[in-house]
Amino acid sequence: MKDFAGRVAVITGAGSGFGREFARIGAKLGMRLALADVQADALAATVAELQGQGATVFGERTDVSKAEDVERLGARTVDAYGAAHLVFNNAGVAVGGLAWENSVRDWEWVLGVNLMGVVHGVRVFTPILLAQDEPTHIVNTSSVAGLINAQMMATYNASKHAVVSLSETLYHDLRLVGSKVGVTVLCPAFVPTGINQSERNRPADMSNDAPMTASQAALKAQLDKAVSSGKISAAQVAEMTFDAVREDRFYVVTHDRMMPSIELRMQDVVQRRNPTDPFTYKPDVAAKAR
């Protein structure tokens, strides 16, 4: 997909972070925008900003973990624009701590947003893209946590690995039927996006009755520091992602310094050895995460 002017972009998690930057680039390219977020005020702010710049845009409050919400977003997009061309399944949340200390609600919330949000986006929008029989594209936001397994991030790692797996399978399935739909999986490391503050949008029925454990509090502090000190901006990641769409490139790994850790894990699998600490070759990263 190389032509963007007049095309329709659908973006979840558009109220902040990568989603907002995708929307800003889409507006500059002359795209018509269907924006979604669970946080109504943040979504409204993004819509108002882009409308002020003359963009054609609407916002739809959407909880991507709910099938009916994503189905409503798809219906409104087709009703408003008659098509969709570039779909960003981007909304994401995070919790951490030792694997056995995560509650059922932790798992349900993180998997509901990070995995099922992508599942619903693929299920709703892929048939729309296929029916148009023209170059279109799906971008699924995973994480470098979809390629390696850092300590104390079981729920997040599991959700993001599943997004990579879904995206790779989707790519193969679309090639199998000879479609013109491209697929990209975005795998960023620490970027100042606000994901470390995702608890602000956690539904009341998914909240924990017990206070955070020591491991959960420790990881929260580490992530706050790591995310806020990220050297690559959300805007830069968004530009990388649009470049990947233009080039029909599947993997977007935003931080080159993570590649040795990714390779290390792959070698663990190939050599059938026990998992290696992902920061073995990255002492600077491990130090910053402490």
Q: What is the pLDDT of residues 196-207, one digit of tens each?
A: 677 888 888 888
Phi, psi for residue 181 in degrees, rounded to 5: -95, 120
Q: Is the pLDDT of residue 39 over 70?
A: yes
Q: Answer with the residue of higher pLDDT: 221 or 77.
A: 77
CATH topology for the 8-221+232-254 domain? Rossmann fold (3.40.50)
Highest mean pLDDT among 92-101, 201-210, 226-235, 274-283: 92-101
User: Would you state the structure tokens that stand for residue 217, as one six-digit string?
Assistant: 């509090």
Q: Is the pLDDT of residue 117 over 70?
A: yes
pLDDT of residue 114: 97
pLDDT of residue 199: 80
Q: Which residue has the tokens 């977003």?
A: 73
Q: Answer with the residue of higher pLDDT: 198 or 119.
A: 119
Whether 186 and 239 have beta carbons less than 8 Å apart is answered as no
Confidence of residue 228 (pLDDT cuts 50, 70, 90): low
User: Is residue 246 within a helix (H) or strand (E), and if so which, with residue range?
Assistant: helix 234-247
Q: Is the pLDDT of residue 73 over 80?
A: yes
Q: What average pLDDT does range 134-156 have in this prediction?
A: 95
Q: Is the pLDDT of residue 255 over 60?
A: yes
The four Cα atoms 174, 60, 77, 89 give a dihedral, to 10 degrees, of -10
Q: What is the 3-state secondary structure (H, E, C) of 207-218?
A: CCCCCCCHHHHH
Predicted structure pTM score: 0.91
Whether 242 and 11 have beta carbons less than 8 Å apart is answered as no
Q: Is the pLDDT of residue 286 over 70?
A: no
Q: Where are the domains of the chain?
A: 8-221+232-254
pLDDT of residue 214: 83
Q: Answer with the residue of higher pLDDT: 210 or 62.
A: 62
Pairing label, strands 57-61, 32-37 = parallel
Q: Is the pLDDT of residue 284 over 90?
A: no
Q: From the CB of residue 49, how many other CB atoms can be counted at a distance below 10 Å?
A: 15
Q: How far is CA 210 from CA 102, 123, 157, 197, 207, in A?
A: 11, 35, 23, 19, 9
Q: What percent of the chain has pLDDT over 90?
A: 78
Q: What percent of the chain has pLDDT over 70?
A: 92
Closest CA to 26 of 38, 44, 14: 14
Comparing 33-42, 105-114, 149-158, 204-213, which segment has the lowest mean pLDDT? 204-213
Give the catalytic positions in this structure.
Answer: 156
pLDDT of residue 2: 93
How much is the mean pLDDT over the chain? 91
pLDDT of residue 282: 45
